[in-house]
Amino acid sequence: MPVEERKRVIEKIRHGGWTTPTSGVLPGYAQANLVVLDKAFAFEFLLYCQRNPKSCPVLDVTDPGIAVPALAGKDADIRSDIPKYHIYRSGEHVETTENMEHLWTDTSVAFLLGCSFTFEEALIQNGIAIRHNEENCNVPMFKTNIDTVPAGLFSGPMVVSMRPMKRADAIRAVQVTSRFPDVHGAPVHIGDPSEIGIINITQPDYGDAVTLKEGEIPVFWACGVTPQAAAKANKLDMITHAPGHMFLTDIKNETLGVL
């Protein structure tokens, strides 16, 4: 990534000139889910992440009141550099904004969690096409009957993202994504959606439906939208990214591979 290209995109997002999804932007670099909480809840949430590493792989945590993510983007401001934010109050999604400076306080802590865009790039490099890219829409995401491991106020269902593929590709996808535990790692389920409580594969809870072709099976990965389900389940205040509208880190995807 030329530094100028990153600067150009970040500037555009910061000043409201970019409000669409970030899929495919700055290829080769990791993108991240956002969760902002008051520091009073920061320990419990970090513990929730530690207990649920597949859903909530932590890339960076800011110091209270500091809006610069030192490990994931020294040049960025977490309050303005995401195209769209979701504001949750008492678990309800009450607002979508392009900036959240007015809600950020001296006690705000921002958590950046790894995003599946990183492993999608690795899948594509392994010859496995990504259906929602082909169909030019958001990845389909579903609430499941898999309970996350609670920590303090945080609990609720695991949210998963789904990608359809041939059985042989599913095996390769397990291998490829196992290399990347910091961006959700290996799938959590392969095949029959009903086993993890998904009734209708054509009606995702978040994102868009995609085509499941003859001879394909759905493959499910833990998803960084899981904290938003925890906010809802426990009536919490939280600021997050809008699904698909991610934070652009300066971390190279390949450096997240464990082997």
Distance, in Å, from the CA atom of 110 to the CA atom of 112, rounded to the nearest integer, reads: 7
- Window contacting a second copy (CB under 8 A); options: 8-16, 39-47, 133-141, 219-227: 39-47
Q: Which of residues 45-74 bind a second copy (CB under 8 A)?
A: 46-47, 50-51, 58, 61, 63, 71
Judged by CB under 8 A, the residue of 181, 190, 201, 254 near a second copy is: 181
Rounded to 10°, the helix 42-51/226-234 angle is 130
105 is a contact residue toward a second copy (CB under 8 A) = no
SS3 assignment, position 48: helix
Does 172 engage in binding with a second copy (CB under 8 A)? Answer: no
CA dihedral (8, 14, 17, 20) positive or negative: positive
Print the binding letters for residues 117-156 with a second copy: x by CB under 8 A, - otherwise. Answer: --------------------------------x--x----
| Least gap, CB of 180 to a second copy (angstroms) | 9
Instruction: Kindly state the tokens that stand for 106.
Output: 């001296």
Q: What is the DSSP letter of 63?
A: P
**199 contributes a contact to a second copy by CB under 8 A:** no
Return d(Cα 109, Cα 67) in angstroms, integer.
Answer: 8
Residue 188: count other Cβ atoms within 10 Å of its Cβ: 18
Only segment of 117-125, 128-136, 176-184, 228-236 that touches a second copy (CB under 8 A): 176-184
**DSSP reduced 3-state for 99:** coil
**Residues 206-225, mask of contacts with a second copy (x by CB under 8 A):** --------------------
Helix boundaries (H) for 143-184: 167-178
Footprint of a second copy (CB under 8 A): 39, 42-43, 46-47, 50-51, 58, 61, 63, 71, 149, 152, 175, 178-179, 181, 185, 258-259
